């Protein structure tokens, strides 16, 4: 069986508070899963990202970034806002329940 290197997990309260260390990591962050947050994750070259669904919102704006990242082939998911606090990455990691995932994450 070949040896596989697993991505590191980075926890942050906001995707905007993460820098170069996100490259190649799974970033669990307290940001909502909107397009701008997804853009930042993509720009940082995160291997995958987990956001907060922020209640999903109008036109699914709170999870729109999942589709954006799917278009780039990047796995992304969102935890339910009722299961973990928005803006608190550690709380999301400890208590968050995934409510939405894009196709690369579900594969």
Residue 55: is it exposed, middle or buried by C-beta count within 10 angstroms (0-12/13-18/19+)?
middle
Separation CA 3–CA 53 (nearest Å)? 34
Q: What value does the mean pLDDT of the chain take?
A: 93
| Nearest one of 42, 45, 41, 35 to 14, comparing CA atoms | 41
Residue 2: is it exposed, middle or buried by C-beta count within 10 angstroms (0-12/13-18/19+)?
exposed
pTM of the model: 0.90
pLDDT, tens digit, for every residue of 9-32?
999 999 999 988 888 999 999 999
Separation CA 42–CA 39 (nearest Å)? 5
């Amino acid at each position: 069986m070949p040896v596989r290197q697993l991505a590191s997990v980075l926890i942050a309260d906001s995707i905007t508070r993460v820098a170069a260390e996100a490259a190649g990591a799974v970033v669990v962050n307290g940001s909502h899963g909107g397009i701008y947050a997804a853009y930042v994750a993509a720009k940082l070259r995160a291997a995958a990202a987990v956001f907060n669904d922020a209640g999903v919102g109008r036109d699914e704006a709170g999870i729109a970034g999942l589709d954006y990242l799917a278009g780039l082939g990047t796995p992304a998911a969102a935890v339910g806002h009722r299961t973990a606090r928005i803006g608190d990455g550690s709380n999301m990691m400890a208590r968050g329940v995934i409510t939405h995932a894009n196709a690369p994450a579900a594969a």
